[in-house]
Structure 1
């Protein structure tokens, strides 16, 4: 019999979910069978799997070493050179600035050097993540950006922080601000509503004015920061977070994002590609603001974290709009 003591970094999750991660190559049917046959017990008693485990709990495994070893694959951290910037870091979370062109997670088997690979290697080098000592937890990224959109991404370093970040995001208590440059003069602050529908074949979306079957309602706030010579520099308060929402919503209003190969104007894109080497959309996740007062991350309440605009975006902004501060007052926005 092997006994496992639950630590603070493993508590507040269902027992079955912990076991799925502990026996990371086992089918779910194996876990439930072992629970049903009392080969796995929780605090010495029969368990169903739905129990919420707490620090100080113990699990009794009446399994042979061979059986356990067959369903446990040792985790390892691959070396991955860091290409992200660090915006903020403490013992619970790390806020990074992802460069455009970098995947957050692998999309295909075998893809390496993604953002999560780089974060895990960075944390392992700091001694804040050791896979051989973590039976069921891996630090995780809690928000995502498209490959060709750069900017702020947040990861939790421990289970409680990951759970809390996921909750805060789901309850919209984390404000996410983007900046973008569009063709057209967007002169007034607006709240945009629409219906988002995705075409899985072309991996593109449309935002419609009227509801159609399968469409999801989306909400985007847009604030012009500078408008000049048929171009606008906009700040976006992303309320809902659907795929390609900002780009498609602005396109539906007649404002193509500069550099956007999927929804933008190819003639305009060519000008910026030839003059500045811009090969992706001018869209950047600039900042996040925490609006959750309590809980494990309550110490971040009222704080806003802002990433540096990439050099190429800064050069375009300066040439087209002159110099102005992006760290603007957002009261009422």
Structure 2
């Protein structure tokens, strides 16, 4: 038998959603059977799958110990490295500057040194996060960027901040601005471009077309040329839609692939250049709330930028290291 007392980070969840996180070893079939047969109770009474949990509720599970994680198991995030570049932090959120080469979450290879594990380790060492005090919540990233893209990633430090930010991102109330290096000089120097993107999940790649199709989703990408020479340009890019690999694929479709990007550009055109990663940085984040933001209302109108972009136009003429 195991019991959980619902805290603020657990509250508001449906019973089945809470149990999926709190007891990850419990099969879904047994979870629903346990609720149906009253082997899982809330406040000593039978509950429904859809029961919304409130602070102070007692959830009791009369199930075998094999379904519960042992409390003395080592904390996986402790194996992550300590390096972490923090742009901004308060009691609810943390903005990290993710370096090139670091994955945000564990990948198929089971990489432990991830951005979220570094952040979790940092908060644990500060005493702000203690897995022993949490039933279902852990610090969580609200957005993600590719391994070889650098820049701002948002981490929620409590469940309410996570809920609010996920909704704000869905409603496009966060404005994200990128900087990148591309081949050639786009013309005109400023443009809002529309195209249609189709995702191939099996190959983690997308294709872009100028014509709509049932499988494709509309993409809107706005760029401005900041610097240029005869071979390359530094662009500022704002996404009006947020699709997988949108900047990389859309600019390549326009004839200006990102420097260092061999997925949507070619290895041949990148030969001899100094970067072994796509020259793309999630450079600025601005909170532009148009609806109530609860505990995060104080962020409205605030803007944050990375301290240093890891590429520049002049560096393109340096020899590879």
Q: TM-score, normalised by structure 1?
A: 0.86
**Partner of 2:285 in structure 1?**
288
Tell me what 1:252 maps to. 253
Matched, 1:99 2:96: no
Q: Structure 1: 5+ residue runs without aligned partners?
A: 322-333
Deviation for aligned residue 1:149: 0.6
Equivalent residue, structure 2, for 1:307: 306
Secondary structure of the structure 2 residue equivalent to 1:296: helix
**Per-residue CA distance 1:232-274 (angstroms, 9 max, x = gap):** 211111122222110110111111111111222544422322x
Correspondence 1:169 to 2:169:
yes
Q: Deviations over 1:80-111 (max 9, x none)?
A: 11333101111111110111111111121532
Preserved CA contact (<8 Å) 2:79 2:112: no
Note the C-alpha offset of 1:78: 2.6
Give 5+ residue unaligned stretches, structure 2: none
- Mark the CA change 1:60 to 1:202 in structure 2 (over 3 Å): closer, same or farther: closer
Q: Does 1:193 align with 2:190?
A: no
Greater shift in the superposed pair: 42-51 or 165-174: 42-51
> Which position in structure 2 is the counterpart of 1:36?
36
- Tell me which residue corresponds to 2:264: 263
RMSD value over aligned CA atoms?
Answer: 2.1
> 1:238 aligned to 2:239?
yes
CA distance in 1, matches of 2:9, 2:205: 39
1:4 shift after superposition: 3.3
Map Cα deviations across residues 183-238 of structure 1 (whole Å, 9 max, x no partner).
Answer: 12224321111111133454322110001231111111112222333422111111
User: Which deviations, in whole Å up to 9, do the C-alpha atoms of 1:120-174 show, x marking residues without a partner?
Assistant: 1111111111112212111111101111111111111111111111111111111
TM-score, length-scaled by structure 2: 0.89
Number of residues of Structure 1 aligned to a counterpart in Structure 2 = 310
On the 8 A contact 2:141/2:154 being kept in 1, the answer is yes
2-side partners of 1:80 and 1:40: how far apart?
A: 36
3-state SS, counterpart of residue 100 of structure 1: coil
Looking at structure 1, the residues matched to 184 and 52 of structure 2 have their Cα atoms a distance apart, in angstroms, of 53
Range with greater deviation from structure 2 (195-204 or 210-219)? 195-204
CA distance in 2, matches of 1:319, 1:121: 34
The answer on whether the counterparts of 1:258 and 1:265 sit within 8 Å (CA) in structure 2 is: no
Alignment check: 8 A CA contact 1:206 1:248 kept: yes
Specify whether residues 3 and 202 from structure 1 end up closer, same or farther in structure 2 by C-alpha distance, changes over 3 A only: closer
2:220 corresponds to: 219
Distance 2:40 2:266 in 1: 60
**1:320 and 1:272, CA in 2 relative to 1: closer, same or farther beyond 3 A?**
closer
After superposition, what is the alpha-carbon deviation per residue over 1:18-74, rounded to whole angstroms, capped at 9, x for unaligned? Answer: 11122220101112111111222223432112122122333244x26xx2x321114
Is 2:71 the partner of 1:55?
Answer: no
Query: Could you tell me which residue of structure 2 aligns to residue 317 of structure 1?
Result: 313
**Contact 1:181–1:232 (CA under 8 A) maintained in structure 2:** yes
Mapped to 2, the partners of 1:317 and 1:87 lie a distance apart of: 24
Is 1:72 paired with 2:68?
A: yes
